[in-house]
Homo-oligomer: A and B are copies of this chain.
Amino acid sequence: MNQIRVGIVGLGRLGKIHATNLAQNVPGAVLVAACSFSDEELAFAATELGIEEIYNSYEDLIASPNLDAVCIVSPSGYHPEQIRQAMEKGLHVFCEKPIGLDLEEIKRTVQVIHDHPEQIFQLGFNRRYDESYLYAKNLIDNGELGDLMVIRSYGLDPISGLKSFVKFAKASNSGGIFLDMSIHDIDVIRWFTNKEVVRVWAIGKNSAYPELDQLNELETGSAMMQLEDKTMAILVAGRNAVHGYHVETEIIGTKGMLRVASVPEKNLVTVFNENGVVRPTSQNFPERFREAYISELKEFIDCIKEKRQPGISAYDGLQNTVVALACQKSFETNQIIEIL
């Protein structure tokens, strides 16, 4: 039958999610090969998912004659090179965000993708495939909110991960909170408004781990942006959320407002107990975006079958990074940064 054969590289926390979805939850896809440096990860692929083709090297993976497409969930620094190699092998590519860490390298990657217009390329900005974000986007595009005036987007990670982040930050460079986390919000801002950011001011604060100050890292950061049509954008990123994983976006328009997930409800249950009236909340991104992770891969497979590119382009990946880097630079200099 008309099954799209996919190989995956990277089987960390998110890699396992993508692999499981490709193996079980995405009609029309079949996961045929997996690549990782980690034996534990490869054992997962073999045992849990029944994958027969197992590789330690990315070159070997994409050399497999059984692949139509590759799903890249490796560390961000590898993305550009792995995209290039897959593209040159004629494979369709699904790549987790970001497209890369270095701006010049990203630009070269965008060019590589541009040079292979017959192959599908999709970036894993998962919010674009979340049912609630899509419902909001639809209301906006239908003019239900009128002209857009303000867009506010929050990405608040659960506090449970803060300690391990601090350890990580001491060992390696995350790129900063805006590149690491806010890039999702930047993508939503550009997607919802169809406008580009022209200037930004970003600030931040550390409290529990003041040693992060030395590392240019932040527990919590905020940025305000002016878009090309003067629409205002506000973002907050945090690693401190006690109540769970809180991703929220607001649009204020001349005809109405909307909020996506102002309460990051876990389900439809409300509990009335000694604390008051309580809505339990999503605790992490796999829980909050479980469906979106499936939907984005369904879209990838559909795009391959229908020979059309997805709504999110390599150029979006580039621009999102440009803005995120401007935020980081603004934070470091405490000045407004103009984006040309």
Contacts and interface: CB of A to CB of B under 8 A. Distances in A.
Contacts of A240: 149, 252-254
A171 interface: no
A264 B273 contact: no
Interface in A146-197: 146-147, 149-150, 152, 156, 159
Contact of A246 (B156, B229, B263, B272): B272
Given A149-B220, A276-B243, A264 B256 contact: no
Given A256-B274, A262-B270, A205 B231 contact: yes
Contacts of A277: 243, 263-265, 278-279, 281
**Number of copies of this chain that the complex holds:** 4
A259 interface: yes
A275 B274 CA distance: 11
Nearest 7 A-B pairs (CB), nearest first?
Answer: A24-B27, A257-B272, A256-B273, A224-B224, A132-B268, A205-B230, A261-B268
B243 A257 contact: yes
A52 to B, nearest CB: 11
A271 interface: yes
27 contacts: A25-B25, A132-B267, A139-B271, A149-B207, A150-B222, A203-B224, A203-B230, A203-B232, A204-B230, A206-B230, A208-B254, A220-B232, A222-B232, A232-B236, A238-B252, A240-B252, A240-B253, A241-B257, A242-B273, A242-B274, A243-B256, A243-B277, A259-B270, A260-B268, A263-B268, A276-B280, A278-B279
Interface in A280-329: 280-281
Contact of A242 (B207, B255, B267, B269): B255
A332 interface: no
Contact of A276 (B220, B223, B278, B336): B278
Interface in A118-164: 131-132, 135-136, 139, 144, 146-147, 149-150, 152, 156, 159
B201 A336 contact: yes
